[in-house]
Amino acid sequence: MSNKRILLLLLLFILSCYTVFGIEDFTLLSTQSVNSMCQGSTVLYTTVVQNTGTSFNQYTVNTVGDATSWATTVPLGFSLNPGGSRIIYTYVTPGFGVNPGNYNLDVVVSSTQLSKKVSYTASVQNCYKIGVSASEKSKEVCPGQNTQYNFKISNLGDYKQSYVLSLEASGAE
């Protein structure tokens, strides 16, 4: 047999295996990687999975990272035909006890032979800020004499809030 015939037979064999068994592959696309949020609010990350292989495939989804405990991802499993795509929704809601800062969240998609991830950053902001200013820091007062302090309270946060004022220390009464 000539080298050309052997090469042709080998090429036909590889193509038949490719067609019969299929090649498994997929891509992940994300809309954004960083989202700013407040404690108690919910943001949505979307991840698109596209089957770029030549065979039908099943996928599982999970999340890993600092923000996993306050993230919910749906669906957790699905199937795709070649060329098909599916959107994965990840809802992130940091609780009121979560400290401001940046937290990692990876959405991991796995098939039979492959595993890929998209990394997100949940940037939790300090959305509950208060400002207090006074025109006078102290006053001299004689015993039995009343006085008044003027001060201004400002809500510097992102949400409407109510405040409870109280006095402390020796002159509070």
Q: What are 20-78's pLDDT values in tens digits?
A: 456 889 999 997 777 889 999 999 999 999 999 999 999 999 999 999 999 999 999 99
- The band of 119, judged by pLDDT with boundaries at 50, 70 and 90, is very high
In the chain, what percentage of residues exceed pLDDT 70? Answer: 88
Report whether pLDDT(19) > 50.
no
Whole-model pTM: value is 0.69
Counting the structural domains of the chain, the total is 1
- The domain that contains 92 carries what CATH number? 2.60.40.10
The 3-state DSSP class for residue 68 equals helix
Residue 45 inside a domain? The answer is yes
Residue 35 inside a domain? The answer is yes
Contacts of 45 (CB under 8 A, 6+ apart): 30, 31, 32, 35, 89, 90, 92, 105, 107, 120
Report whether 27 contacts 88 (CB < 8 A): no
Residue 16: the pLDDT is 54
Residue 89 inside a domain? The answer is yes
Residue 10 inside a domain? The answer is no
Residue 72 inside a domain? The answer is yes
Residue 69: the pLDDT is 95
Residue 5 inside a domain? The answer is no
Residue 54 inside a domain? The answer is yes
**Residue scoring higher pLDDT (82 or 159):** 82
Owning domain of residue 50: 23-125
Report whether pLDDT(14) > 80.
no
Average pLDDT for 75-92: 96
